[in-house]
Structure 1
Amino acid sequence: MFLQLVSYVGAVLGFLFLTLSIASGLYYISEIVEEHTESTRRFLTRAIYTIIATFVLLLLFDSFPFKLSIFSIISNVIYLQNLKTFPFISLTSPIFILSSCCVVLNHYFWFKYFNDNEVPPQFKFNPNYIPKRRASFSEVASFFGICVWFIPFALFVSLSAGDYVLPTTTASSSKKTDLPAGEEEPRLRKRAVGLARVVINSLRQYVYSIARVFGYEIDPNHDTLVI
């Protein structure tokens, strides 16, 4: 009885540890991408072309379903359109909405394909019928990880949902009449912020707010502005 209780506690702690590890990894990767946006864009472009070639090879050598493979290739072409405005993204743009729909449909269709164990009606009573080979767990997991999830996940981490406005100088309040001739008023510089960081920061702020409601202060310096 007590061993079961320990197993439940261990499962909860393991899930929390795994979630925090994934969030920390996403945050770190997002920071790297922000510093190397052009290299990331080239990497994602080549990755999309590689996955399209992979679908063609699977279609030719493993007899993958033609219509479903073509749909996945078209989906990757749609993902490629997001790189035209890389690393910025508009959550209401038609390309982003269409890409999100393709991610869901791709997952559903391929999951249904690999989970289909039905025998064709014309072979149900045929003792000599040999069912098609079922893919192993490692094959299915590798296919989903590389061909279905990798590009959407990479785009989620790499694209920026908005930008932080940082002043380039403290003299931004100066009037144009006070500036020497030929000089312009100091402008604001914008810095891209990864979509993953935006989501993680929002979730962290939400957790801090709930903790304060119950009288717990997780990080007293969280809302402190450093000047």
Structure 2
Amino acid sequence: MWFLTLICYFSMLVQVVFITISIAAGLYYLAEIVEEYSYAAKKAIWWMNFTITTLFIFLWLFENFPPSMIICGILAQICHFAILNNFPYVAFSSPFFIFGVVFVIVNHYLAFSYFASTYHPFSEVIAYFTLYLWLVPFALFVSLSANDNVLPTTAERSDLDAVTNYLSKRNKKYGLLTLFTYAKESLLPMRTKKGF
């Protein structure tokens, strides 16, 4: 009896490893797509954001959710719209980015407080968290790597011309795709081609 229990724990460990690798591979693939098609990614994120804002209005009309959750959710979506104005360039020190992060934390606190005090089935709770709280911030997080290979423009810094700006930022790549590329190069063995 104990052996089968031990096998179950080992099986769960293997499943967690497979799920983690699958999520990492999916994130890597999404980051590559966003980097390649940044304009289409901006449109897709804009429509996701618009849809979630509309869903907040429907939630206010048809359900009995607290107004603080609805107002903070809509304010978070407004911050996301403002972040999309300079897409794919995202300044981490911009007020809209900072307010967006603050609203994500506040919305999670309000949601946990509400669902702890009011019973809803688990499917409704996970639907709220997935659509209302995680979808747009996750899409913006994945799209942070799109800034790595964007052609230089003068919109990033007004005191430098486009070429100087490009040369000064060329070696500074910070993003999800850069992290995954570094992990791939450092953790996975390189295959060598045989020359005949």
Structure 1 length-normalised TM: 0.68
Deviation string 1:171-213 (CA, Å, 9 cap, x unpaired) is xxxxxxxxxxxxxxxx97x7xx7832133335556x73xxxxx
Unpaired runs of 5+ in structure 2? 152-165
Superposed CA RMSD in Å reads: 3.0
Q: Give the one of 177, 189, 192 matched to 1:219.
A: 189
Alignment-derived partner of residue 153 in structure 1 = 138
Tell me, yes or no, if the aligned pair for 2:53 and 2:74 is still in contact at 8 Å.
yes
Matches within 5 A, 1:1-227: 1-117=2-118, 134-160=119-145, 162-163=147-148, 195-204=175-184, 208=187, 218-220=188-190
Structure 2 residue identity aligned to 1:196 = L
CA distance in 2, matches of 1:59, 1:165: 39
Relative to total residues, which structure has the larger helix share, 1 or 2? Answer: 2
Relative to structure 2, which stretch is displaced further, 16-25 or 29-38? 29-38
Query: 1:14 offset after TM fit, Å?
Result: 0.6
Query: 1:94 offset after TM fit, Å?
Result: 2.9
CA distance in 2, matches of 1:165, 1:158: 12
Tell me, yes or no, if the aligned pair for 2:52 and 2:132 is still in contact at 8 Å.
yes
Structure 1 residue identity aligned to 2:177 = R
Tell me, yes or no, if the aligned pair for 1:47 and 1:151 is still in contact at 8 Å.
yes
- Residues 113/16 of structure 1: CA separation in 2 closer, same or farther (3 Å cut): same
Relative to total residues, which structure has the larger strand share, 1 or 2? Answer: 1
Identity of aligned residues (%): 36
Deviation string 1:67-100 (CA, Å, 9 cap, x unpaired) is 2211110011011111111112233333222222
Structure 2 length-normalised TM: 0.77
Deviation string 1:107-159 (CA, Å, 9 cap, x unpaired) is 12112111115xxxxxxxxxxxxxxxx32111111111011100000111112
Q: Which runs of 4+ in 1 moved over 6 A?
A: none
Tell me, yes or no, if the aligned pair for 2:35 and 2:147 is still in contact at 8 Å.
no
- Residues 109/199 of structure 1: CA separation in 2 closer, same or farther (3 Å cut): farther
- Residues 220/31 of structure 1: CA separation in 2 closer, same or farther (3 Å cut): closer
Alignment-derived partner of residue 183 in structure 1 = none
CA distance in 2, matches of 1:63, 1:20: 39
Rg bigger for which structure? 1
Query: 1:60 offset after TM fit, Å?
Result: 1.2
Structure 1 residue identity aligned to 2:73 = S
Secondary structure at the residue paired with 2:85?
Answer: helix
CA distance in 2, matches of 1:202, 1:66: 44
